[in-house]
Amino acid sequence: MKIFKKIASIILRVSVSIILLIFLFRLVDKKNLIEIIKNADKPLLLIAFLIFFSSCALAIFRWDMLLKAARIHLPLKRVIISSAGGMFFSLFLPSTIGGDLVRSIDLAAHTKRTHEVVATVLLDRLSGYIGLVSVALLAVLFGWSFIQENTGVLISVAVITAVLAAVLLILFNSSLYSRINKLLQTPSAGKIREFIKDLHQEMHIFRHHTDIAVNNLLLSLVIQIISPLTFYIIALSIGIKINMFYFFIFIPIIGAITLLPISIGGLGLRDTITILFFAKAGVSKDMAFAMSLVSFFFILMLGMTGGIIYALTVRHRRIQYHKPHSVHHSL
């Protein structure tokens, strides 16, 4: 029954993405769209891609920081290879969680420390979400005049914020965790209970090391600030000349909305919202869609490159990680 539900969920997400993309390609002038992308300023596109690449490099460094905090000492090259595999598989699996699963399985298989590896991956994803939602909330605050009439946007951001806040409270508040744990004392909730228990126990990385928590969250904020900058340079490359302010308002909110599990990696959904938002800044449908497509091409290029790196380094993935001679786990 659970398998059928998962399959149904995937089919629904794929359907939403396909329907939205078909709608968008019918909405815009396809010839004009191709011309816009073809005539883009190539040096500016290269700059935009390098800025985008820097955010991915910072994300890898953020995860490496968490691994070291959990006393999982691996060469940086090994972490890069695992992250590259995660980027690749995220392109084809229903959500970014698929890429996280690949990262977890890959390193857990070689370190034999499954719980700790999974915890670092989940903490890494969690800190990324915290950074994104924090910047999105600031964007809502400063861009209130642009979105106050869009109830759907406000509800989406509110739901995502509420879910994230609930997760953080359960993981970091022992009293609330105990109550949730009691509610999950049923056979059907066994796996969920064990998952929350393992993750709660591994939260010591953040609970007892505030410096790591602060540095990690600061990195997440920097990464989220880089995203609007990437879009701004892409926009300049295709001839969109509007105030940078719009990008720092719209892009974080768009990013937060695409976290909703209703499409495949935000495909189609991200493009639709981009067109709707940037219409408020006077950007045409063709231009906004072209900008969104170029940003997706960046993701595709990096993901495919990650897949090549991952495939060409199979033998290196058997490298032994170095256990420190110090105490194993008491941080």
Strand partners of residue 273? none
Total number of domains constituting the chain: 1
Summarize the confidence of residues 288-317 as an average pLDDT.
88
pLDDT digits (tens, 9 = 90+) for 228-264: 999 999 999 999 999 898 999 899 888 888 877 788 8
Question: At 175, is the pLDDT very low, low, confident or very high (cuts 50, 70, 90)?
Answer: confident
Q: Give the pLDDT mean for 172-180.
A: 74
Residue 15 has pLDDT above 70, yes or no: yes
C-alpha 328/C-alpha 13 separation (Å) is 42
With respect to residue 74, please indicate whether it lies within any of the assigned structural domains.
yes
Q: Which domain holds residue 106?
A: 39-149+211-318
**284 inside domain:** yes
The answer to whether residue 127 sits within a structural domain is yes
Assigned domain for 244 exists: yes
Say if residues 39 and 179 touch (Cβ distance below 8 Å): no
Distance of CA 327 to the CA centre of its chain: 33
Smallest Cα–Cα separation from 73: which of 120, 105, 124, 125?
120
Distance CA 293, CA 268 (A): 10
Residue closest to 264 by CA, chosen among 312, 316, 299, 315: 299
Residue 302 counted as domain residue: yes
- Residue of higher predicted confidence among 111 and 80: 80
- The widest CA-to-CA distance across the chain, in whole angstroms, is 64
What tens digit of pLDDT does each residue of 121-170 get? 888 888 888 888 888 888 888 877 776 666 666 777 788 778 777 777 76
Note the pTM of the prediction, 2 decimals: 0.82
Looking at residue 280, what is its pLDDT? 86
For helices 244-257 and 210-237, what crossing angle results, to 10°?
A: 120
- Assess if residue 188 is contained within a domain: no
User: C-alpha angle 119/129/243, rounded to 5°?
Assistant: 155
pLDDT beyond 50 at 268: yes
> What are the angstrom distances between the C-alpha of 98 and each of 85, 131, 321, 326?
11, 20, 24, 34
Question: What is the residue-averaged pLDDT of the chain?
Answer: 83
Average pLDDT over residues 58-65: 94
Do the domain assignments include residue 181? no
- Per the domain annotation, does 137 fall within a domain? yes
